[in-house]
Homo-oligomer: A and B are copies of this chain.
Protein backbone atom coordinates (compact mmCIF):
# COMPACT_ATOMS: atom_id res chain seq x y z
CA UNK A 1 0.00 0.00 0.00
CA UNK A 2 1.92 3.03 -1.24
CA UNK A 3 -1.00 5.22 -0.27
CA UNK A 4 -0.68 7.65 2.65
CA UNK A 5 -3.56 7.30 5.09
CA UNK A 6 -4.18 7.87 8.79
CA UNK A 7 -2.85 5.22 11.14
CA UNK A 8 -6.13 3.58 12.15
CA UNK A 9 -7.30 3.35 8.57
CA UNK A 10 -3.94 2.02 7.51
CA UNK A 11 -4.05 -0.77 10.12
CA UNK A 12 -7.55 -1.71 9.04
CA UNK A 13 -6.44 -1.96 5.41
CA UNK A 14 -3.46 -4.11 6.38
CA UNK A 15 -5.81 -6.56 8.04
CA UNK A 16 -8.05 -6.61 4.94
CA UNK A 17 -4.96 -7.08 2.81
CA UNK A 18 -3.66 -10.03 4.85
CA UNK A 19 -7.13 -11.64 4.62
CA UNK A 20 -7.16 -11.11 0.87
CA UNK A 21 -3.68 -12.56 0.36
CA UNK A 22 -4.49 -15.63 2.47
CA UNK A 23 -7.82 -16.12 0.64
CA UNK A 24 -6.20 -15.80 -2.79
CA UNK A 25 -3.41 -18.16 -1.73
CA UNK A 26 -6.03 -20.66 -0.49
CA UNK A 27 -7.76 -20.69 -3.87
CA UNK A 28 -4.32 -21.44 -5.33
CA UNK A 29 -3.77 -24.29 -2.83
CA UNK A 30 -7.13 -25.84 -3.62
CA UNK A 31 -6.66 -25.67 -7.38
CA UNK A 32 -3.09 -26.98 -7.19
CA UNK A 33 -4.09 -29.91 -4.97
CA UNK A 34 -6.97 -30.74 -7.30
CA UNK A 35 -4.32 -31.09 -10.01
CA UNK A 36 -2.26 -33.32 -7.70
CA UNK A 37 0.70 -30.96 -7.63
CA UNK A 38 3.45 -31.42 -5.06
CA UNK A 39 4.74 -28.82 -2.57
CA UNK A 40 6.58 -26.89 -5.28
CA UNK A 41 3.46 -26.56 -7.40
CA UNK A 42 1.28 -25.75 -4.42
CA UNK A 43 3.60 -22.95 -3.32
CA UNK A 44 4.18 -21.43 -6.75
CA UNK A 45 0.52 -21.55 -7.76
CA UNK A 46 -0.60 -20.06 -4.42
CA UNK A 47 2.07 -17.38 -4.62
CA UNK A 48 1.16 -16.41 -8.17
CA UNK A 49 -2.56 -16.37 -7.31
CA UNK A 50 -1.89 -14.01 -4.41
CA UNK A 51 0.65 -11.70 -6.06
CA UNK A 52 0.28 -12.23 -9.82
CA UNK A 53 -2.26 -9.46 -10.35
CA UNK A 54 -0.26 -6.82 -8.49
CA UNK A 55 2.97 -7.96 -10.12
CA UNK A 56 1.53 -7.71 -13.61
CA UNK A 57 0.16 -4.24 -12.80
CA UNK A 58 3.55 -3.11 -11.50
CA UNK A 59 5.31 -4.45 -14.57
CA UNK A 60 2.81 -2.68 -16.84
CA UNK A 61 3.22 0.57 -14.88
CA UNK A 62 6.98 0.01 -14.48
CA UNK A 63 6.78 0.36 -10.69
CA UNK A 64 9.57 -1.11 -8.57
CA UNK A 65 10.27 -2.62 -6.11
CA UNK A 66 7.47 -5.12 -6.49
CA UNK A 67 5.09 -5.45 -3.58
CA UNK A 68 6.20 -8.93 -2.49
CA UNK A 69 9.86 -8.02 -2.91
CA UNK A 70 9.48 -5.20 -0.40
CA UNK A 71 7.43 -7.43 1.93
CA UNK A 72 9.29 -10.72 2.03
CA UNK A 73 7.21 -11.60 5.10
CA UNK A 74 4.23 -12.19 2.78
CA UNK A 75 6.28 -14.53 0.57
CA UNK A 76 7.37 -16.39 3.69
CA UNK A 77 3.77 -16.51 4.93
CA UNK A 78 2.61 -18.17 1.70
CA UNK A 79 5.58 -20.56 1.89
CA UNK A 80 4.67 -21.64 5.43
CA UNK A 81 0.99 -21.91 4.52
CA UNK A 82 1.99 -24.12 1.58
CA UNK A 83 3.91 -26.42 3.95
CA UNK A 84 0.79 -26.66 6.12
CA UNK A 85 -1.69 -26.83 3.25
CA UNK A 86 -0.95 -30.35 2.07
CA UNK A 87 -1.66 -32.13 5.38
CA UNK A 88 -4.45 -29.66 6.28
CA UNK A 89 -6.43 -29.83 3.07
CA UNK A 90 -6.70 -33.60 3.30
CA UNK A 91 -9.01 -33.29 6.29
CA UNK A 92 -10.52 -29.82 6.11
CA UNK A 93 -13.34 -29.74 3.61
CA UNK A 94 -16.06 -28.16 5.71
CA UNK A 95 -18.55 -25.85 4.08
CA UNK A 96 -17.81 -23.34 6.83
CA UNK A 97 -14.23 -23.02 5.56
CA UNK A 98 -15.49 -22.58 2.02
CA UNK A 99 -17.81 -19.76 3.08
CA UNK A 100 -15.01 -17.99 4.92
CA UNK A 101 -12.82 -18.26 1.84
CA UNK A 102 -15.54 -16.74 -0.40
CA UNK A 103 -15.85 -13.75 1.94
CA UNK A 104 -12.11 -13.24 2.35
CA UNK A 105 -11.63 -13.59 -1.40
CA UNK A 106 -14.30 -10.94 -2.04
CA UNK A 107 -12.58 -8.65 0.48
CA UNK A 108 -9.25 -9.21 -1.26
CA UNK A 109 -10.82 -8.58 -4.67
CA UNK A 110 -12.27 -5.30 -3.41
CA UNK A 111 -9.05 -4.11 -1.82
CA UNK A 112 -6.70 -5.16 -4.63
CA UNK A 113 -8.94 -3.59 -7.27
CA UNK A 114 -9.25 -0.26 -5.45
CA UNK A 115 -5.52 -0.10 -4.72
CA UNK A 116 -4.69 -0.98 -8.34
CA UNK A 117 -6.94 1.78 -9.65
CA UNK A 118 -5.49 4.23 -7.16
CA UNK A 119 -1.86 3.45 -8.09
CA UNK A 120 -2.67 3.88 -11.78
CA UNK A 121 -4.33 7.22 -11.04
CA UNK A 122 -1.24 8.28 -9.09
CA UNK A 123 0.84 7.36 -12.14
CA UNK A 124 -1.42 9.70 -14.15
CA UNK A 125 -2.86 7.05 -16.42
CA UNK A 126 -6.01 7.91 -18.44
CA UNK A 127 -9.15 7.09 -16.50
CA UNK A 128 -10.31 4.02 -18.43
CA UNK A 129 -6.80 2.55 -18.13
CA UNK A 130 -6.99 3.17 -14.34
CA UNK A 131 -10.15 1.06 -14.18
CA UNK A 132 -8.45 -1.65 -16.27
CA UNK A 133 -5.40 -1.63 -13.98
CA UNK A 134 -7.68 -2.05 -10.98
CA UNK A 135 -9.39 -5.05 -12.58
CA UNK A 136 -6.03 -6.52 -13.64
CA UNK A 137 -4.78 -6.23 -10.06
CA UNK A 138 -7.91 -7.92 -8.78
CA UNK A 139 -8.34 -10.77 -11.24
CA UNK A 140 -5.05 -11.64 -12.92
CA UNK A 141 -3.71 -13.67 -10.03
CA UNK A 142 -6.62 -16.02 -10.60
CA UNK A 143 -6.12 -15.94 -14.38
CA UNK A 144 -2.47 -16.98 -14.01
CA UNK A 145 -3.46 -19.67 -11.48
CA UNK A 146 -5.84 -21.21 -14.01
CA UNK A 147 -3.33 -20.95 -16.87
CA UNK A 148 -0.70 -22.76 -14.76
CA UNK A 149 -3.32 -25.39 -13.85
CA UNK A 150 -4.11 -25.81 -17.55
CA UNK A 151 -7.70 -24.56 -17.31
CA UNK A 152 -9.58 -21.82 -19.13
CA UNK A 153 -9.51 -18.94 -16.61
CA UNK A 154 -12.51 -19.15 -14.29
CA UNK A 155 -13.22 -15.40 -14.54
CA UNK A 156 -13.64 -15.67 -18.32
CA UNK A 157 -16.21 -18.45 -18.11
CA UNK A 158 -19.87 -17.77 -17.64
CA UNK A 159 -19.97 -17.86 -13.88
CA UNK A 160 -21.15 -15.64 -11.05
CA UNK A 161 -20.08 -12.00 -11.51
CA UNK A 162 -16.47 -11.54 -10.45
CA UNK A 163 -14.46 -9.22 -12.72
CA UNK A 164 -17.61 -7.12 -13.13
CA UNK A 165 -17.72 -6.44 -9.37
CA UNK A 166 -14.09 -5.36 -9.51
CA UNK A 167 -14.80 -3.11 -12.51
CA UNK A 168 -17.74 -1.41 -10.80
CA UNK A 169 -15.74 -1.00 -7.59
CA UNK A 170 -12.89 0.62 -9.51
CA UNK A 171 -15.25 3.18 -11.04
CA UNK A 172 -16.67 3.96 -7.59
CA UNK A 173 -13.13 4.68 -6.41
CA UNK A 174 -12.19 6.73 -9.48
CA UNK A 175 -15.36 8.82 -9.53
CA UNK A 176 -15.08 9.62 -5.82
CA UNK A 177 -11.44 10.63 -6.31
CA UNK A 178 -12.37 12.85 -9.25
CA UNK A 179 -15.05 14.43 -7.05
CA UNK A 180 -12.24 15.20 -4.58
CA UNK A 181 -13.60 12.94 -1.85
CA UNK A 182 -11.03 12.01 0.82
CA UNK A 183 -9.00 8.98 -0.32
CA UNK A 184 -9.99 6.87 2.69
CA UNK A 185 -13.68 7.39 1.85
CA UNK A 186 -13.15 6.48 -1.80
CA UNK A 187 -11.22 3.37 -0.82
CA UNK A 188 -13.77 2.12 1.71
CA UNK A 189 -16.74 2.87 -0.55
CA UNK A 190 -15.08 1.02 -3.42
CA UNK A 191 -14.26 -2.03 -1.28
CA UNK A 192 -17.77 -2.12 0.18
CA UNK A 193 -19.35 -1.95 -3.29
CA UNK A 194 -17.15 -4.71 -4.74
CA UNK A 195 -17.62 -6.89 -1.66
CA UNK A 196 -21.41 -6.46 -1.54
CA UNK A 197 -21.83 -6.99 -5.24
CA UNK A 198 -19.67 -10.12 -5.20
CA UNK A 199 -21.48 -11.64 -2.22
CA UNK A 200 -24.86 -10.85 -3.84
CA UNK A 201 -23.66 -12.47 -7.07
CA UNK A 202 -22.72 -15.64 -5.17
CA UNK A 203 -25.96 -15.65 -3.16
CA UNK A 204 -28.29 -14.87 -6.07
CA UNK A 205 -26.24 -16.67 -8.74
CA UNK A 206 -25.94 -13.49 -10.85
CA UNK A 207 -24.27 -13.87 -14.26
CA UNK A 208 -23.52 -11.68 -17.25
CA UNK A 209 -25.88 -12.14 -20.20
CA UNK A 210 -24.45 -13.67 -23.37
Chain A residues within 8 Å of B, Cβ to Cβ? 32, 35-42, 44-45, 55, 59-60, 62, 64, 66, 68-69, 72, 75-76, 79, 86, 125-129, 132, 143, 147-153, 155-159, 162-164, 207-210
Contact = CB atoms under 8 A, between A and B. Distances in A.
A129 B64 contact: no
12 contacts: A38-B159, A39-B208, A39-B210, A40-B162, A41-B153, A45-B156, A62-B64, A72-B128, A75-B129, A147-B147, A147-B148, A150-B152
Nearest to A154: B41
Q: Report copies per complex.
A: 3
A149 B157 CA distance: 10
Contacts of A163: 40, 44
Majority secondary structure, A binding face: helix
A149 B153 CA distance: 8
A64 B124 CA distance: 13
A75 B126 CA distance: 11
